[in-house]
Structure 1
């Protein structure tokens, strides 16, 4: 911690005091430090391994783009260090969804959807700008935008099914390949990368986004799917009340249509979002299933309440089993439901605590 504070103070050319560890992850350490004028800044230091290097470059470039997030105060590639403005201690979207106020939770969801939609719209035409900023902070690891992660997850799922001696439905590989090829080229928009509930502050001045470690451009539908599923890659996953997911999705869509007029066409929208739901279903299955074959576990190591991994997988497979556009994937999810969910005894995913009144 002392080393990080000294490097940040040198970067800012000012003294920093009283660091408080805000957690972070295996990729990064996050500190809040006092400044000499009575204010505070957030200091983020990244690990000297592949994901740490990738995260530094993405965060420094993403914040430098200036479309969202806290103001970047300094970034040092040699020290793998970013210093940013402190947005304070406002509640996160996760806090209100796990709380007891349904109105606050609904307002927070709509603010989140509109904020992400406006960000996507504002980013149109800025992809080359982000690429130039990424080159400035490059530490030699491809961004998630350049990493073929969708194809890797799909290949991983196919390999796992074969290793588990689960009959791979005819046409699944071709179906997944067609989905990937379309998603990777359609309607690119900027995203911080991890738009989960705990990375969204609900401040008096509106929604503020945190965590740009995976910032980049991706299909706008991959963000739209976060509204529908909800929260495709997150730990804070419960069901939304009837009609709420559709309302949140409409709020997001209304903000992006001015920048992407084709998305006003219901057929275009529904097809694109279905592809994104398929991508995220494959992603979560490939990432989590092997971890809970023998024993279930919570989606987060410390936060409570939280669903179990098996509950979330069951919910994802049940959702994807309705994607009639992709019959091979539907057969796959039904095979997984029969092979695992039927014997797990994992209860259905409940609604978010804020709405369970």
Structure 2
């Protein structure tokens, strides 16, 4: 999380005042700015709306992007908020869009309030509360997916008519690069040797960004730090990587980041928490994707998506030049602790054995041993 300087803080507030005043037709003054942190390239501020003749929320959230960076990420986030705001309220995944200015690269959003973060819930010691929280997480994710099936063309139109006028997706390029490097990294950095079948699983995982049987809207970073639980339920924040992808990428991402965030006191309950999340997600999507009602099919699809995320989280810990958007580094990771990554490979090896995919099980076990020897001994 970054800290905004006083100059940038006041600049964000003044920009939002101008945008809101232009939209409302009267002067709108914003007070009491609070720095909410950002992704590293954005400033995010909560502000209070001073009394004015226009009915407006008491508090708002302002997100400002730097104007000296490429505009594709801002355009994608703006399109994501436009798309999500048009959804029925019960299916809306997070805050709704109030106003924007693409020239100033500012987005004004509804304020979700304070609530409790999913990371906080999983770091506590109450297993029942954690169980309820992850079930709500899975249900909200599935509800969003179910509500957005078939909406990909609408989202693409928002991108085409947005400030960048492009449907290019830097995350897809980032993942493709990471997979293309797999044979080299496996042989030279990890000493695992040739593993073409494992690399093919990675390719299938990366392909889920652009195609797949279960296409739906995804904010992409649906891990605990970007989830708030408030009076309205689970809220997903940060649509910086928003787009349409195969939904199994999201549920795999959620499960992976959930297990990494669970407090040591709840470690014995990790598997049941993940099962609760998956069951809640399936309860929302099974009617539109009946194949996911079959455990074997569900487990195989989850394994492919999970393998991709574990691989990428490992690359983000290695001195590997991915040659693209550095801001994607850290997705699905959120830690510098090597034991987390080693543990993910061991868990993946066990999952590969359970599902009956030896190319994943054997290579994952070998990677776990290589990383353990390099990082932990």
| Greater fraction of residues in helix | 2
Alpha-carbon distance in 2 for matches of 1:93, 1:141: 33
Q: Measure how far apart 1:342 and its partner are.
A: 3.9
1:87 to 112, 115, 139: 112
Deviation at 1:276, TM superposition (A): 0.8
Q: Counterparts of 1:276-315 in structure 2 under 5 Å?
A: 276-290=305-319, 309-315=337-343
Separation in structure 2 between the aligned mates of residue 142 and residue 319 of structure 1, nearest angstrom: 36
Q: Decide whether the 8 Å contact of 2:210 with 2:245 is kept in 1.
A: yes
In the alignment, structure 1 residue 2 sits paired with structure 2 residue 14: no
Q: 1:188 to 1:109 in 2, by over 3 A?
A: same
> Is 1:199 paired with 2:218?
no
Q: Which residue of 2 aligns with 1:147?
A: 172
For residues 58-207 of structure 1, the aligned pairs below 5 Å read 58-65=76-83, 66=85, 67=87, 68=92, 69-139=94-164, 143-144=168-169, 147-164=172-189, 166-171=191-196, 172-181=198-207, 184-186=210-212, 187-207=214-234
| 1:15 aligned residue (29, 38, 43) | 29
Indicate conservation of the 8 Å contact 1:145/1:218, yes or no.
no
| Aligned equivalents of 2:40, 2:174: Cα separation in 1 | 20
Q: CA deviation at 1:47?
A: 2.6
SS class of match (1:137): coil
State how far apart, in whole Å, the 2-side matches of 1:176 and 1:117 are: 24
Structure 1 Cα separation of the partners of residues 99 and 63 of structure 2:
11
Shift in alpha-carbon separation, 1:39–1:199, aligned structure 2, 3 A? same
Aligned in 2, Cα 1:16/1:281: closer, same or farther, shift over 3 Å?
A: same
> Taking structure 1 as reference, are residues 203 and 283 closer, same or farther at Cα in structure 2, changes over 3 Å only?
same
Unaligned segments of structure 1, at least 5 residues: 292-300, 347-357
Partner residue of 2:348? Answer: 320
Equivalent residues of 1:63, 1:72 under 8 A apart: yes
Question: Structure 1 residues 182, 142: closer, same or farther in 2, change over 3 A?
Answer: closer
RMSD of aligned alpha carbons: 2.7
**Deviation for aligned residue 1:12:** 0.5
Residues 14-62 of structure 1, C-alpha deviation per residue, up to 9 Å, x if partnerless?
1212211111121211001111138111000113465x73432222111
Partner of 2:274: 245
C-alpha separation between the residues in 2 aligned to 1:338 and 1:122?
Answer: 42
Tell me, what secondary structure is at the counterpart of 2:62?
A: strand
Change (3 A) 1:6 1:289: same
Shift of 1:319: 1.6
Say if 1:225 and 1:231, in contact at 8 Å, map to a contact too: no
Corresponding residue to 2:238 among 202, 211, 223? 211
Please report the TM-score for the alignment, with normalisation by the length of structure 2: 0.79
Q: Secondary structure at the match of 2:270?
A: coil
The whole-number CA distance in structure 1 between the counterparts of 2:239 and 2:276 is 26
8 Å CA contact retained: 1:54, 1:213:
no
1:45 equivalent in structure 2: 64
Work out the CA distance in 1 between the residues paired with 2:73 and 2:173. Answer: 16
Deviation at residue 141 of structure 1 after TM alignment: 6.8
Is the 1:143–1:214 contact (alpha carbons within 8 Å) kept by the matching residues of 2? no
Deviation at 1:150, TM superposition (A): 2.9
Q: What is the alpha-carbon distance in structure 2 between the residues aligned to residue 230 and residue 25 of structure 1? A: 18
| In 1, Cα distance between equivalents of 2:81 and 2:195 | 44
Q: 1:266 aligns with which of 295, 300, 306?
A: 295
